């Protein structure tokens, strides 16, 4: 049996990329939840960033990105 036809290989890789993107999105959501818990525990985004050795901007950006994603999901879910 020879190698898979290129069309099948492309389709397989596109399916894999879609699954990986979904997994990355879910991980980002869980990470944002953990960061929010950190803010609740330590009192500020800056304290969480300092504790993790990250920039304040990186932590703030992750939280805002998750907020936008949730807002977008709510907007698309209420159009019935």
Predicted confidence at residue 74, as pLDDT, reads 84
Exposure string for 27-38, b = 16+ CB within 10 A, e = fewer: eeeeebeebbeb
Q: Does the predicted model carry a pTM greater than 0.85?
A: no
Cβ contact 59:52 at 8 Å: yes
53-70: average pLDDT: 96
pLDDT category at 78 given cuts 50, 70, 90 is low
d(CA 58, CA 13): 30
């Amino acid at each position: 049996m020879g190698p898979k036809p290129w069309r099948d290989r492309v389709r397989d890789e596109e399916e894999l990329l879609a699954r990986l993107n979904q997994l990355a999105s879910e991980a980002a959501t869980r990470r944002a939840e953990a960061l929010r818990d950190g803010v609740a525990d330590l009192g500020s985004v800056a304290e969480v960033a300092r504790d993790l050795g990250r920039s304040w901007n990186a932590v703030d950006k992750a939280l805002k990105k998750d907020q936008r994603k949730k807002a977008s999901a709510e907007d698309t879910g209420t159009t019935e």
